[in-house]
Structure 1
């Protein structure tokens, strides 16, 4: 991380620098470009929501549990940033009242969630890297991706896209400035600082690897069907989980949750 030391002491700037190459790679993957063109399908979007739910359930559980930790307290903004409740509304919209019984959690999502729970228990400092890349990425790209998703899937209201809305943030630009300032105020030793930067890189790399695998499976996913209407009028994910192709594709689907939002992050 010697390069990071040359760009100043701000943790936010250092994360931006050490993940720069990863960021560019994520932005230019074919699936991300397709998403920007409005070429996401309903089955893909529902997989996204399932993955997001599991990831944020783990992240916000650990942030809540460590809210008084010296590294977490400065960047703990549950009223402004919490995504779990909006995700639950979106999932209920697409899967119906019994959505919890229909959500399938991909294997890759499990791994990411397990990592969040692991560091929440053993090294809460590292939650800073995940919270920053997730929340600021989602906040930066939320408006754009929300409108793209709404138009592509033919949604006539805000139903089904609550995840992209941050009603507690009146000015994303000012809030991101506040968030960076709070994060940069966290006191870390040189070793702790390095580990946070390493964790940010690790998160990006994990997602890019999954993203590349998902791109290879796209044509097979589309050929497997799984289409349907909203408001729960769909083939439940649980009903198709027996297919090896679908199982594998679901295992890769976390990429949309962990990269598609974050690539827009105006770090």
Structure 2
């Protein structure tokens, strides 16, 4: 749901001078996530699936920012996608080794950004866009605070998932 909230943005946000430059098709993850879930849960993986409360709260916050505060949307966008392009690659590698997934294959496709040829250059360009946002110091601090909130919301999702689906030895 948080990924869908980032990608199903309100009409007009793509033209917004703050959020628009960040809405990039090469970052889209919804299809890859669905493919991974079908691999892990089978063709009926959606059956009986209900989002956990932390997931709903996270998606709702992203949607509210996308609707009402473009700079807040950028905070969530940054936290999600640059996290997936950076630390997400460590998660992908660990999952491949731990569970025997094919390198960059089914089960870890969420972390594979095939349309981004040079992730380091992409992240550098992304950060330059961030640095160039037309925000005053107060708004910059609000965005930083929203990044922290996004991280906390994401952490809450992982905690709830860990409680709902504990690892077994």
User: Pairwise mapping of residues 149-168 of structure 1 onto structure 2 (< 5 A)?
Assistant: 149-156=95-102, 158-168=105-115
User: Pairwise mapping of residues 53-202 of structure 1 onto structure 2 (< 5 A)?
Assistant: 54-62=1-9, 66-78=13-25, 80-156=26-102, 158-202=105-149
Change (3 A) 1:96 1:65: farther
Please state whether the residue corresponding to 2:86 is helix, strand or coil: helix
- Once the two structures are TM-superposed, the CA of residue 211 in structure 1 deviates from its matched residue by 5.5
Please state whether the residue corresponding to 2:115 is helix, strand or coil: coil
Is residue 221 of structure 1 aligned with residue 166 of structure 2? yes
| TM-score normalised to structure 2 length | 0.85
In structure 2, the residue matched to 1:250 is none
> Cα deviations across residues 177-226 of structure 1 (Å, max 9, x unaligned)?
111111222212343222211211222234446666777x58x935xx7x
Q: How many equivalent pairs are there?
A: 168
> Cα deviations across residues 65-116 of structure 1 (Å, max 9, x unaligned)?
51111111222212x2111110011111122222222433111000000111
Please state whether the residue corresponding to 1:178 is helix, strand or coil: helix
| TM-score normalised to structure 1 length | 0.56
Please state whether the residue corresponding to 1:127 is helix, strand or coil: helix
How far apart in 1 are the matches of 2:36 and 2:94? 16
How far apart in 2 are the matches of 1:65 and 1:199? 22
Change (3 A) 1:93 1:64: farther
> Cα deviations across residues 18-37 of structure 1 (Å, max 9, x unaligned)?
xxxxxxxxxxxxxxxxxxxx
Structure showing greater Rg: 1
Please state whether the residue corresponding to 2:100 is helix, strand or coil: coil
Give the root-mean-square deviation of aligned CA atoms.
2.6
List gaps (5 residues or longer) in structure 2.
Answer: none
